[in-house]
Amino acid sequence: MTDPVPPASPAPPPAPVPLTGTAAGPVRPTTDADRAWADLAAELTPAASMARIDAVTARAVTTITVIGLLLTALGALGAGQLAGDSPAAAALAVAAVIVSSISVACALTAQVLTVSRRLNTADLAQVRAWYHRQFTVRAYATQAATMLLILAALLAGATAATTLLTAPAPAHPATSSR
């Protein structure tokens, strides 16, 4: 049996690289703006990002009531009558309801709790991969929910406007002249 080969002497650490300027130039002093940007960067942790996603999806679900308000506020939907006598308003109302429903489904999908019993929290590569999967699924679902919610609000507003613009003129009661 031979003796193990001694490890090679470690290479000297690389020289520090300045944050600004050239490698040969001086580094400028840290400004208040730099510190503000650094504070904002510190908030971009995976946990904080997941909390923002949760807040947006919760807002999408609760804001969906605006669509119902827009559809009923001006009589587009009410008392079992769908958008009065206007086929265009009826089509817009149905589209608003469908898009609203899909928006809620996307928001709820983004809020599905995932627990991985096999996740080794001491293995940072596994933790990073878990967060990456969460962002991939939840962020895209949240973005879709928000965009669909905006579209549903526009459709609901168009429904109400169409209902108002296409409604028959109110009948004026006959007045008698004596």
∠ CA 39-40-41, nearest 5°, is 90
* Domain range list for the chain: 49-166
| pTM to 2 decimal places | 0.60
Query: pLDDT of the chain along its 178 residues, tens only?
Result: 455 544 555 555 555 545 555 555 568 888 898 888 877 777 767 788 788 888 888 877 777 766 766 666 555 555 445 555 778 888 888 898 889 889 888 888 887 777 677 878 788 888 888 888 888 888 899 899 889 989 988 988 888 788 778 777 666 665 655 5
Tokens (6 digits) for 157: 């507003």
CA distance 119 to 167: 60
